[in-house]
């Protein structure tokens, strides 16, 4: 099968995050086993699987080719075509996940059948995860497996859409949930109650002030050139004539690689403790609960790392790039793997209705990966 035929199959699986990916995992496993390669499904959450396969010798120093099998939902989007059926129009292939990021997986799988395993001096490790779109949950479940992996890989390429530009830095993400528990009373008796919404507003104002301070710490490799805080969800109160007992918010921090995120989080915790003390003065039953939901670290691979020269030589390029979106690459980086992001398609097409990838991008990816695989012959 060529990469278009494989991509057609991959797109047909409705692998929306937090739903089962069993069918696509079984397809990939069967595909690899039909080529006489060992492959393993590793269940994380029930019905959701990471996939691992080693191709080549039991030798350290190989390379991981990594991608995620999940896609974002299509509900509420207006598509011109069936999002789970691959449609070709000129140089474009339309369908959910074509760019983000089943196109890369299709190219990898199409090349596997062409590999002359006897020529490989170092192995190729395939790692395909689930639930990347909701906080890189699948790959984080796989970390214990990867830590014990033998033989050890040395490099990792994560094939997220970069238009085949080489990315060695991206921001990380930390998601938090905060619940303010006040004390209800009749709205005319404001002194009797403790408004959870009012204290939540104070916290949001604090985060806005923090964002203004953070903007001074610039990293010109990124756009925007600083770490960011965003309050994305808020919910509170049950009626206009009741002092609200509860208010909940969710916020995220998108941090640049060199930003002191730990210091910021400690300051946030101290401020919440201060607010909670104020609330308890009015009523001892009041509380504030902060929960870390999901996180993934920034990517920060040195410009002089061996993986950089290896990839640039095979891309016929001399420049590295940065992106503000996050990927699983930071997690691989923390496992002491020299990691980069490089894959076909544009992030501008990701998560949108009528998502597409250009065939020319897939061909560029194919040429690049063939050269990477050939480098393992040495």
Coil, helix or strand for 293?
strand
DSSP 16: B
pLDDT confidence of residue 242: 96
**Cα atoms in the 13 Å half-sphere on the side-chain side of 223:** 2
DSSP 348: G
pLDDT confidence of residue 378: 87
- State pLDDT tens for residues 31-62: 999 999 999 999 999 999 999 999 999 999 99
pLDDT confidence of residue 1: 82
State the helix-helix crossing angle for 3-12 and 22-34, rounded to 10 degrees: 150
pLDDT confidence of residue 258: 92
pLDDT confidence of residue 12: 98
pLDDT confidence of residue 317: 93
The CA-to-CA distance between both ends of the chain, in Å, stands at 28
pLDDT confidence of residue 203: 98
What gap in Å lies between CA 197 and CA 181, rounded to an integer?
9
Bridge partners of 155, per DSSP, are 63, 338
What gap in Å lies between CA 10 and CA 12, rounded to an integer?
5
Averaged pLDDT, groups of 10, the chain, 378 residues long: 96 97 98 96 96 97 98 97 97 98 98 93 98 94 95 97 97 96 93 95 98 93 93 96 97 95 97 98 97 94 97 94 93 97 97 98 98 94
pLDDT confidence of residue 191: 86
Extract the tokens encoding 188: 């005319």
Q: Where are the domains of the chain?
A: 3-170+298-375, 172-296
pLDDT confidence of residue 190: 83
Listed in order, strand segments (DSSP E) in 131-236 are 153-158, 166-170, 172-181, 228-236
Per-residue CA distances from 225 to 74, 214, 218, 220, 256 (Å): 31, 10, 5, 5, 8
Bridge partners of 340, per DSSP, are 157
- Say if residues 324 and 254 touch (Cβ distance below 8 Å): yes
**CATH of the domain spanning 172-296, picked from 3.30.70.360, 3.40.50.11720, 3.40.50.970, 2.60.40.10:** 3.30.70.360
What gap in Å lies between CA 215 and CA 297, rounded to an integer?
20
Given the DSSP bridges, would you call strands 62-68 and 124-129 parallel, antiparallel or unpaired? parallel
pLDDT confidence of residue 117: 92
**Cα atoms in the 13 Å half-sphere on the side-chain side of 54:** 16
pLDDT confidence of residue 126: 98
The helix or strand, by DSSP H or E, that contains position 88, with its residue range, turns out to be strand 87-89
CATH topology of domain 3-170+298-375: Aminopeptidase (3.40.630)
pLDDT confidence of residue 346: 97
């Amino acid at each position: 099968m060529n990469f278009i035929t494989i991509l057609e199959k991959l797109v047909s699986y409705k692998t929306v995050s937090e739903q089962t990916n069993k069918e696509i995992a079984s397809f990939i496993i069967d595909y690899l086993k039909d080529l006489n390669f060992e492959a393993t499904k590793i269940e994380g959450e029930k019905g959701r699987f990471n996939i691992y396969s080693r191709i080549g010798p039991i030798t350290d120093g190989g390379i991981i080719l990594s991608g995620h099998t999940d896609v974002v939902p299509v509900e509420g989007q207006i598509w011109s075509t069936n999002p789970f059926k691959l449609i070709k129009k000129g140089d474009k292939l339309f369908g959910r996940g074509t760019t983000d990021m089943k196109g890369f997986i299709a190219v990898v799988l199409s090349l596997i059948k062409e590999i002359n395993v006897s020529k490989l001096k170092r192995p190729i490790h395939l790692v395909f995860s689930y639930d990347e779109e909701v906080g890189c949950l699948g790959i984080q479940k796989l970390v214990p497996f990867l830590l014990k992996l033998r033989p050890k890989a040395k490099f990792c390429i994560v094939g997220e859409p970069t238009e085949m530009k080489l990315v060695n830095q991206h921001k990380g993400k930390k998601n938090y949930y905060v619940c303010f528990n006040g004390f209800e009373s009749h709205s005319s008796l404001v002194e009797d109650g403790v408004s959870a919404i009012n204290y939540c507003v104070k916290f949001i104002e604090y985060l806005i002030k923090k964002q203004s301070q953070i903007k001074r710490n610039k990293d010109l490799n990124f756009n925007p050139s600083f770490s960011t805080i965003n309050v994305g969800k808020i919910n509170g109160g049950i009626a206009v004539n009741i002092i609200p007992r509860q208010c909940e918010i969710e916020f995220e921090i998108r941090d640049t690689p060199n930003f002191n995120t730990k210091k910021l989080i400690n300051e946030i915790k101290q401020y919440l403790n201060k607010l909670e003390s104020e609330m308890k003065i009015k009523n001892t039953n009041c509380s504030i609960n902060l929960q870390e939901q999901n996180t993934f670290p920034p990517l920060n691979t040195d410009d002089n790392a061996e993986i950089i020269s290896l990839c640039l030589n095979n891309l016929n390029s001399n420049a590295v790039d940065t992106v503000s979106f996050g990927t699983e690459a930071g997690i691989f980086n923390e496992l002491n793997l020299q990691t980069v992001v490089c894959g076909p398609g544009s992030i501008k097409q990701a998560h949108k209705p009528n998502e597409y990838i250009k065939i020319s991008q897939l061909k560029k990816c194919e040429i690049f990966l063939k050269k990477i695989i050939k480098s393992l012959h040495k």
